[in-house]
Structure 1
Amino acid sequence: MSLRTLFVTQVYEASLAGEKNFEDFNAELEDACRMLADEDLAGQAWCREHGYGGYTSYASLDDLPMRASIFEDLKRKLDKHAAAYAKALRLDLGRRRLRLDSLWVNILKPGASHSGHIHPHSVLSGTVYVATPKGASALKLEDPRLAMMMAAPPREADAPEEVRNFVYLQPQPGTIFMWESWLRHEVTPNAARKERVSVSFNYAWR
């Protein structure tokens, strides 16, 4: 008997933490995120209106790399990781390339979460983590075939990661997770006593 592994979902994981001056970079990035949370009145209003437990710049600011040099620095780092991921996925980009389409801040309060969703109109999506206090939310990834498993039994409790219906990834400061944008994901409730800070992004094919 033999088994073939087909139609694999590959999730990219890397870290900025090993880079030179990471602590200074990460501290400056966190300061910039919190500055936006304090000053972005439109974003604050959107969060209140939509019941977001904390702050996100997703619906209010679309020019972060032009607002603060630290976001431009982050963009340059992410561009390299996105290119490496696209190469690993064997994406045939032709004469076009993947470009950072959006970049936004997330500050999740204790107890808050972000329900399951995908990122339409993008090729790659991901998050870089800035502050992950003890108990901070995991990233929950869902098997994209789940909706079609109409009569399937559950997986065994000790099933290996690659055959589970849900996988929980626990980040650290500097962690980068990236996935293809059709992959459904969510942020589990933040069990930390402090805020969880991250920066999310999309890459489009242009």
Structure 2
Amino acid sequence: MPAASGPEPQMGWHFAVPMLRWCAPDSGALNEALEALILARRAVGPEAHLSNVGGWQSHPDLFDGPAPCIGTLRRHIVSLMRIVMAVPAGGDRTRIEGQLGLTGWANVNRDGDFNRVHDHPGSHWSGVYYVSLGEPDPGTELNGAIEFLDPRPSANMPIPGYRAGSAMSMLPAAGEFILFPSWIQHYVMPFRGRGDRISIAFNAGLKDYRVL
């Protein structure tokens, strides 16, 4: 932030964490196809066990499949990655170009399942797409919410009126994407309700990139 000139003080934000949220329009058909694909794969048996406590996770090869719904999902993620690469944190006009590597896996949580605190090492951006929310119990606070931990080590001494030192909760919608830096720690609150709560997590990394 440059030095202020003139009589007016200049207020700025620094050390902010860039995040992106977007609900895909007309996601109903996409979600139906993804749900059928994921539940058919789950029926074959267990695959991976990463951050989940209970629930089911696939291997991180979801984007290798030829299904049209996977192609649609990939195109959405590539479009969102272009946005986050074009507007780096700090608000400058930098543009980043490079070869994008993408991996993804499916998560299916049922009543009582959750995900432990974790991050996604080895990539630049991570995200989650929500296929189905199941049938959440309306009486449960933060039911199945994704929560992000404040990454600033001294934020346990907050300034009055400024949020700091606690988790930031997001209650998603079906058809919504949430993108965040891979280094920020996060977890998923227990799901309470009926049915399957289905999401797709992904990692995106840039190879041979350049800053323009």
Same fold (TM over 0.5): yes
CA distance in 1, matches of 2:84, 2:95: 12
The structure with the greater share of residues assigned to strand is 2
Deviations 1:7-62 (A, max 9, x none): 1111100011x23xx211111111111111112x351xx44x987411101xx352
Cα distance in 1, alignment partners of residues 147 and 119 from structure 2: 12
TM-score normalised according to structure 2 size? 0.78
Cα distance in 2 between the residues matched to 1:104 and 1:55:
10
What is the distance in 1 between the residues matched to 2:128 and 2:177? 6
RMSD of equivalent CA atoms: 2.5
Deviation of 1:3 (Å):
4.2
SS in 2 for 1:97: strand
Distance apart, 1:180 and its partner CA = 0.7
Bigger helix share: 1
C-alpha distance in 1 between matches for 2:52 and 2:68: 30
Greater mean alpha carbon deviation, residues 85-94 or residues 192-201:
85-94
Once the two structures are superposed, the pairs formed by residues 163-178 of structure 1 within 5 Å of their partners are 163=164, 165-178=166-179
Amino acid at match of 1:8: A
Name which of structure 1's ranges 83-92 and 193-202 shifts more when overlaid on structure 2: 83-92
**1:46-195 residue pairs with structure 2 within 5 A?**
46-47=48-49, 52-57=53-58, 60-89=59-88, 93-94=96-97, 96-100=98-102, 102-132=103-133, 133-135=135-137, 136-145=143-152, 148-149=153-154, 152-153=156-157, 159=161, 163=164, 165-195=166-196
Q: Aligned equivalents of 1:116 and 1:83: distance in 2?
A: 28
Q: TM-score scaled to structure 1, two decimals? A: 0.80
| Aligned with residue 38 of structure 1, among 43, 58, 65 | 43
Unaligned runs of 5+ in 2: 1-8, 138-142, 208-212
Larger Rg: 2
Structure 1: which 5+ runs fail to align? none
Distance 1:139 1:200 in 2: 12
Question: Are 1:15 and 2:23 matched, yes or no?
Answer: yes
**How far does residue 92 in structure 1 lie from its aligned partner after superposition?**
5.1
Q: Distance in 1 between matches of 2:65 and 2:122?
A: 23
Q: Would the aligned equivalents of 1:131 and 1:173 in 2 still touch at CA under 8 Å?
A: yes
